[in-house]
Amino acid sequence: MTARERASFRPLGKAEPVATRLVHGGRGPEPAGPHGVNPPVARLSTVLFDTTAQLRQARVRREQERVLSYGARGNPTAHALEDLVTELEGGYRTRLFATGLAATAQVLLAYLRPGDHVLITSAVYAPVRRLAEEFLKPYGIEYDYYAADGSDVQALLRGNTRLVYAEVPGSSLYDLLDLPALAALCRSRNALLAVDNTWVPATCIARWPWAPTSASRR
């Protein structure tokens, strides 16, 4: 994420308790006059602009900022939920996907390029293995699986390891690994760290203190 994109989001408030965050998070500025507690449900695909110039401007800006430009790229209701997740998890930005597997595919395909190597936890949600075999491999992206406790990550890291994909807790056996240590290791080797935290509700996580590159949840 670029500095410009980060700057387009309102800064996080001070660390209020989770209960307060749940009530106030993602609400944005309150509209004037009586209004509902929840943001209205928006359902839209095509967006109308006053002028063609505005449309063109939105198309340029949307590459770096979150602007309303097309329903598949988000709508005001989705943006409010994104802000709430961001607020609860203390992240920079949230993107919603219709399914967890779509989120995982997006992370892998957005960051990996032919010639890259990715380390995937052996505790991974099984369909991600298929994604690796049927999508990453044909694109020339190599992958290896590491032990669910992360013990062999250091030994498996290569010069071309671009991403380490973790799942905490892991699927099936709820394996845990030392995420702060893994994050530090990735940082020292210039590798990105992505975490699928489907099995941990945001309210169980104090705030991501170890700053992964990306976290995805169902």
Ligand X SMILES: Cc1ncc(COP(=O)(O)O)c(C=O)c1O
| Residue 114 to residues 50, 143, 194, Cα–Cα distance (Å) | 42, 11, 18
3 state SS for 13-79: CCCCCHHHHHHHCCCCCCCCCCCCCCCCCCCCCCCCCCCHHHHHHHHHHCCCCCCCCCHHHCCHHHH
3-class DSSP state of 158: coil
Provide, rounded to whole angstroms, the least separation between the CB of residue 184 and ligand X.
24
Cross-strand bridge partners of residue 143: 118
- Out of 87, 89, 116, 196, the only residue in the binding site for ligand X (CB under 6 A) is 196
Provide, rounded to whole angstroms, the least separation between the CB of residue 120 and ligand X.
12
- Out of 38, 52, 99, 190, the only residue in the binding site for ligand X (CB under 6 A) is 99
Window 67 to 96, contacts with ligand X (CB under 6 A): none
**Judged by CB under 6 A, which stretch of 44-52, 56-64, 99-107, 151-159 contacts ligand X?**
99-107
- Out of 44, 101, 147, 185, the only residue in the binding site for ligand X (CB under 6 A) is 101
| Contact between 46 and ligand X per CB under 6 A | no
Q: Is the CB of 86 or the CB of 171 nearer to ligand X? A: 171
> Helices (H), strands (E): how many in the chain?
8, 5
**Site residues (vs ligand X, CB under 6 A):** 99-101, 125, 167, 171, 196, 198, 218
